[in-house]
Structure 1
Amino acid sequence: MFMNKNQKDVDQSDKVGSAMGSSAPKPTSMKGNKNPEQPQIPASSPLRTDDSSPLTTNVGQPIADDQNSLKAGERGPVLLEDYVLREKLQHFDHERIPERIVHARGAAAHGYFELYESLQDLTTAKVLTDTSAQTPVFVRFSTVAGSRGSADTARDVRGFAVKMYTPEGNWDLVGNNIPVFFIQDAIKFPDLIHAAKPEPDREIPQAATAHDTFYDFLSLTPESMHMLMWIMSDRTLPRSFGMMEGFGVHTFRLVNAAGKSTFVKFHWKPLLGVHSLVWDEAQQIAGHDPDFHRRDMWDSIKMGNAFEWELGIQTLSEEDEQKFDFDILDATKLWPEELLPVRRVGKMTLNRNPDNYFAETEQVAFNTTNVVPGIDFSNDPLLQGRNFSYLDTQLSRLGSPNFTELPINRPLVQVSNNQRDAQMRYTINKGRVSYAPASLDGHSPDEVTPARGGFTSYPERVNGPKIRARSQSFNDHYGQAKLFWNSMSGPEKEHIVKALQFELSMVETRAVRQRMVEHLGKVNDMLAAQVAAALGETMPESDASTKARGTADSVDGAKQLADATSPTTASGGVQQSKALSMENQPTSPKGRKVAILVAAGIDVNQVKQLQQALTKAGAMSEIVGPHLGMIAGDGGELEATKTLANASPALFDAVFVPGGKGAEALKKKGDAQVFLAQSYKHGKAIGVLGESVELLKKALPDGASLTKMGVVSGADAGKEKQAIQNFVDSVGTRHWSRTALEHVAA
Structure 2
Amino acid sequence: MSQPPITTASGIPVADNQNSMTAGPRGPVLLQDFHLIEKLQHFNRERIPERVVHAKGSGAYGTFTVTNDITQYTKARLFAEVGKQTETFLRFSTVGGEKGSADTERDPRGFAVRFYTEEGNWDLVGNNTPVFFIKDGIKFPDFIHTQKRDPQTNLKSPTAMFDFWSRTPESLHQVTTLFSSRGTPDGYRHMHGFGSHTYSLINAAGERVYVKWHFLTQQGIRNLSAAEATRIAGSDPDYAQRDLFNAIAKGDFPRWDVKLQVATEADLAAWEARTGWNPFDLTKVWPHKDFPLIPVGVLELNRNPLNYHAEVEQAALSPANVVPGMGYSPDKMLQSRLFAYHDAQLYRVGTNHQHLPVNAPRCPFHNQQRDGAMAIANGGAAVNYDPVQAAGSNPQGMGHGEPALPQSGAAGRYDARGKEDDYTQAGDLFRLMPKDEQQNLFDNLAGPLSQVSAEIIERQLGHFDLADRAYGAGVRAALKARGVNVG
Pick the TM interval, shorter chain.
over 0.9
The whole-number CA distance in structure 1 between the counterparts of 2:315 and 2:385 is 29
Give the counterpart letter for 1:499 in structure 2: N
Q: Does 1:490 align with 2:435?
A: yes
Check the 8 A contact 2:202/2:326 in 1, yes or no. Answer: yes
Look up the equivalent residue of 1:414 and give its one-letter code: P
Counterpart check, 1:502 vs 2:447: yes
Q: 1:514: which partner in 2?
A: 458
Task: Classify the secondary structure of the residue corresponding to 2:189.
Answer: helix
**Structure-2 separation of matches of 1:271 and 1:471:** 39
The equivalent position to 1:88 in structure 2, one of 36, 39, 44, is 39
Q: Indicate if the aligned counterparts of 1:115 and 1:131 stay in contact, CA closer than 8 A.
A: yes
Distance (Å, rounded) in 2 between the aligned partners of 1:59 and 1:342: 55
Q: Which secondary structure does the structure 2 equivalent of 1:121 belong to? A: coil
Give the 5 Å matches for 1:42-441.
52-205=3-156, 211-324=158-271, 325=275, 326-398=277-349, 400-431=350-381, 433-437=383-387
Q: 1:502 to 1:435 in 2, by over 3 A?
A: same
Pair 1:285–1:343, CA change in 2 (3 A)? same
In the alignment, the residues of structure 1 paired with residue 393 and residue 61 of structure 2 have an alpha-carbon distance, to the nearest angstrom, of 33
**Contact 1:436 1:445 (C-alpha < 8 Å) held by counterparts:** no
Alpha-carbon distance between aligned partners in 1 of 2:465 and 2:35, rounded to the nearest angstrom: 67
Secondary structure at 2:425 match in 1: helix
Q: Distance in 1 between matches of 2:56 and 2:23?
A: 45
Q: Deviations over 1:522-569 (max 9, x none)?
A: 122222123223253434xxxxxxxxxxxxxxxxxxxxxxxxxxxxxx
Tell me whether 1:528 sits opposite 2:472 in the alignment: yes
Aligned residue type for 2:380 = K
2:439, 2:474 within 8 Å by CA — same for their partners in 1?
no
Structure 2 residue aligned with 1:731: none
Identity across matched positions, percent: 42
Match of 1:481 in 2: 426
Q: 1:445 to 1:374 in 2, by over 3 A?
A: farther
Q: Deviations over 1:460-489 (max 9, x none)?
A: 221311120135797100010001001111
AA aligned opposite 2:445: L
- Amino acid of the structure 1 residue aligned with 2:415: R
Q: CA deviation at 1:181?
A: 0.5
Deviations 1:566-603 (A, max 9, x none): xxxxxxxxxxxxxxxxxxxxxxxxxxxxxxxxxxxxxx
- Once the two structures are superposed, residues 36-74 of structure 1 have per-residue CA deviations (whole angstroms, 9 ceiling, x without a partner) of xxxxxxxxxxxxxx8622211101122221111011111
Judge which range, 461-470 or 403-412, deviates more.
Answer: 461-470
User: Alpha carbons of 1:113 and 1:202: their partners in 2 closer, same or farther (altered >3 Å)?
Assistant: same
- Within the alignment, does 1:449 sit opposite 2:449 as a pair? no
Counterpart secondary structure, 2:467: coil
How far apart, CA to CA, are the structure 1 residues paired with 2:394 and 2:28? 64
The verdict on how the C-alpha distance between 1:491 and 1:52 changes in structure 2, with shifts beyond 3 A counting, is same
**Deviations for 1:351-373, whole angstroms, at most 9, x for unmatched residues?**
11110110011000010100001
What amino acid is aligned across from residue 55 of structure 2 in structure 1? A
Give yes or no for the alignment of 1:465 onto 2:410: yes
- Give the counterpart letter for 2:365 in structure 1: V
Instruction: Give the number of the structure with larger relative contact order, counting CA–CA contacts within 8 Å between residues 6 or more apart.
Output: 2
Write out per-residue CA displacement over residues 411-439 of structure 1, whole angstroms, 9 at most, x where no aligned residue. Answer: 01111111111111111423362112079
Q: Distance in 2 between matches of 1:65 and 1:370?
A: 47
Which residue of 2 is the match for residue 632 of structure 1?
A: none
Q: How far apart, CA to CA, are the structure 2 residues paired with 1:447 and 1:355?
A: 45
Tell whether the 8 Å contact from 1:117 to 1:129 is kept in structure 2 after alignment: no
Which runs of 5 or more structure 2 residues have no equivalent in the other structure? none
C-alpha separation in 2, matches of 1:428 and 1:481: 50
Partner AA of 1:329 in structure 2: F
- Counterpart of 1:224 in 2: which secondary structure? helix
Q: Deviations over 1:490-545 (max 9, x none)?
A: 111111011111120122x2211111111111122222123223253434xxxxxx
Residue correspondence of structure 1 range 580-729 to structure 2 within 5 A:
none
Does the aligned pair in 2 maintain the 1:110–1:353 contact within 8 Å?
Answer: yes
Change (3 A) 1:473 1:527: closer
What is the TM-score normalised by the length of structure 2? 0.95
Partner AA of 2:325 in structure 1: G
Q: CA deviation at 1:449?
A: 3.3
Corresponding position of 1:592: none
Moved more, 51-60 or 497-506: 51-60
Q: Does structure 2 conserve the Cα–Cα contact (< 8 Å) formed by 1:136 and 1:164?
A: yes
d(CA) in 2 for partners of 1:490, 1:370: 42
Normalising by structure 1, we get a TM-score of 0.62
Provide closer, same or farther for how the CA distance between residues 523 and 51 of structure 1 changes in structure 2, counting only shifts above 3 A: farther
Partner amino acid for 1:271?
Q
2:192–2:214: 8 Å Cα contact kept in structure 1? yes
One-letter amino acid of the counterpart of residue 193, structure 1: I
Q: Distance in 2 between matches of 1:383 and 1:260?
A: 21
After superposition, the Cα gap between the structure-2 partners of 1:63 and 1:247, relative to the gap in structure 1 and judged at 3 Å, is same
Counterpart-to-counterpart distance in 2, 1:249 and 1:457: 22
One-letter amino acid matched to 2:172: M
Partner deviation per Cα, 1:223-247 (whole Å, 9 max, x = no partner): 1111111001111111121110000
Contact 1:180 1:249 in 2 (8 A): yes
Secondary structure class of the residue paired with 1:164: strand
Give 1:131 deviation, angstroms: 2.8
Look up the equivalent residue of 2:175 and give its one-letter code.
Answer: L
Q: Which amino acid aligns with 1:425?
A: A
Matches within 5 A, 1:726-745: none
Structure 1, gaps ≥5 residues long? 1-49, 540-746
Q: Is the 8 A contact 1:330 1:474 kept in 2?
A: no
